[in-house]
Structure 1
């Protein structure tokens, strides 16, 4: 255990910086990422495991990306039922394409990524909020859109993206409440763990791309997450609710939030990971609790960053479950809309690609 922790500390410290977000630097524009081969990474904490990517996974990803591309609207958005013109779902779709090695204007789905970028930039308000008229609970979408812009800027150096990203970060920092978290609206009133992780990941992606993030903001977010944790290792939806409110989706979000804020070891992380074990796919995948894709989106990241046996056991299980649940047309059905479920499933399945800095657990200088 101590050896695994030491290796984990080295890897994630390199990814997040000595205190998570404290260091600021600039990243040059990069070429489109190249696929990683098994054994190509020096990282030990989240090293490649045998048979991470198999033929069934490749085919599922190919079908899913092809289906998703057909769903894109003329403005670059993704449309379905009451969630059309949603900046958050559109950003997740963009990240799914980027996880396959595409960048704006480059790669098989470069056109689709560029269209997503155009849509997100068009929905950046003067206040810094990234939203559209039909968005509900805009801070969810804002967090995902900030994450998307952070990845795009970090890999392209686009100056327009940088300007909008800086404003998005400033809005996140201004709307943090006294407890250290965020909620649905861009105002510093109440908070919950679900919206908070969206903002933490947006800040992390921005920091990795060289955008300044205030240390105090991250420190307060960490304390908020800690206050949400229960003795069983799981997390409440909101701080101060008392024990008994643990659940899979919010607990996966809580563990991921700690990692992305720079807390990469300690009892809160280990207890959280142990709590998640009961929801490993094939045993109890968390479907009965709702928010299945949201939960597994964060659970796969938490287990990837934990590395070792956590990753080796979790990823093959969720990979196989998602491949088996894919519809014949290439989509997944689930929470909110097929567009959302499919984007989430594709991001999860493509974690072994290690293309995007935020999902790969690798930051500048690593």
Structure 2
């Protein structure tokens, strides 16, 4: 059974030191973004301005299909990440200035999903990010506003789309000898990056009230534990071997353990210790790493996150281009979306960002 929830009412977490608590103030009609942003004065002006420019870039570059030309990384995951970036600052998804962006993006995800398998390709990586976006949209987006009355597309609800996508993820997991995921839904091998993307989608689905069996979550968590070395580094396709830079994988592993409430596992503390010892280390694939690093630190080390977040804001101010985009190695749309989402912990509007 699906439980509807109002995402705009789910504000959680501790406000930044010295600032007043966050207040939800979504805009009405087509009111433009203001210097105060959407949610009051608790978020710094720098973050609000960067987010304003970043969302303007995403709005300007969305294509007629409802997705984005992100280069070789384009696909449903690119659409999902851009949608998450739009939703993360508390924009009104039904009547605000980005309602058409959100509407077109959701329609695209529904349209490309297989009605037979529930798969949202072109890979399980994309499937995971698409599932996460769909789950975060549930309860805040009015299904009746997604499609026009005379639209020829299949008018599935977000809940129906999510349930199909969850079924596809669980079917792929059952086929996999690691009880995890790789790029193909029929793959027998696994990696922590793809598996993390799918796990985040499944945990968001559970948070949204969609049934995800404990057995499936536990099996996937065991895979992450098996990939974690004693020093908190995490392997990619092979079990973790101590040493080397592992910020993205350790952040992702810690995050799924934190969201699954499994602080009892040794890998939880090992990955957290590793992250805290490497707060000043420059990660490889920085936009991707910071996307997960921000969430992991926010979940389990709020004081350290607050300090790290100030450094992130300063870096982001230097990196953002005049058109609002962010450079990176995962395509301009994905790099921009992930950079915005790393900053979006300042807003704390996404249900998956709750503590």
The counterpart of 2:50, out of the listed 37, 43, 60, is: 60
Give the corresponding residue for 1:215: 214
Q: How does 1:1-366 map to 2 (within 5 A)?
A: 26-28=2-4, 30=6, 33=8, 43=13, 46-50=14-18, 53-84=43-74, 86-126=75-115, 127-131=117-121, 135=122, 138-156=123-141, 158=143, 160-176=157-173, 177-240=176-239, 242-244=241-243, 247-280=246-279, 283-286=280-283, 289=284, 291-361=285-355
Q: RMSD value over aligned CA atoms?
A: 2.2
Q: 1:55 to 1:220 in 2, by over 3 A?
A: same
Contact 1:182 1:195 in 2 (8 A): yes
- SS of 1:145's partner is helix
SS of 1:268's equivalent in the other structure is helix
In the alignment, structure 2 segments of 5+ residues that lack a partner are 20-41, 144-155
Per-residue CA deviations over 1:115-166 (Å, capped at 9, x if unaligned) read: 11011111111211012xxx3xx00000000001111123347461111111
CA distance in 1, matches of 2:50, 2:277: 26
Contact 1:28/1:156 (8 A) holds in 2: no
Equivalent residues of 1:175, 1:186 under 8 A apart: yes
Do the aligned partners of residues 264 and 111 (structure 1) sit closer, same or farther apart at CA in structure 2, a change above 3 Å counting?
farther
Q: Any idea what the Cα deviations from partners look like across 1:256-314, whole Å, max 9, x if unmatched?
A: 1212222135532222122123442xx3221xx2x211111111000110133232222
Distance of 2:241 and 2:72 partners within structure 1: 34
Look up the match of 2:146. none
Q: How far apart, CA to CA, are the structure 2 residues paired with 1:339 and 1:81?
A: 9
2:79/2:105 contact within 8 Å kept: yes
State the 1:351 CA deviation.
1.2
Name the CA distance, whole Å, in 1 between partners of 2:15 and 2:200.
22
CA distance in 2, matches of 1:144, 1:305: 19
Is this contact kept in 1: 2:93–2:140, CA < 8 A?
A: no
Find the residue that maps to 2:271 and give its secondary structure. helix
Change in CA separation of 1:69 and 1:130 when aligned onto 2, cut-off 3 Å: same
CA positional deviation for 1:209: 1.2
| Cα distance in 2, alignment partners of residues 247 and 190 from structure 1 | 20
Give me the whole-angstrom Cα distance separating, in 1, the residues matched to 2:218 and 2:278: 29
In structure 1, the partner of 2:34 is none
Instruction: Tell which has more relative contact order, 1 or 2 (C-alpha 8 A, sep 6+).
Output: 1
Q: Measured at CA, do residues 246 and 332 of structure 1 come closer, stay the same or move farther in structure 2, by a change above 3 Å?
A: closer
Question: How far apart are the structure 2 equivalents of 1:263 and 1:359?
Answer: 17
Cα distance per residue 1:149-189 (max 9 Å; x no partner): 11112334746111111111011111112323111110250
Q: TM-score, normalised by structure 1?
A: 0.81
Instruction: Give the unaligned 5+ runs of structure 1.
Output: 1-24, 362-366
* Aligned-partner Cα distance in 2 for 1:180–1:261: 16
**Matched-pair contact (CA < 8 Å) for 1:230–1:242:** yes
Instruction: Give the Cα separation in 2 of the matches to 1:308 and 1:209.
Output: 24
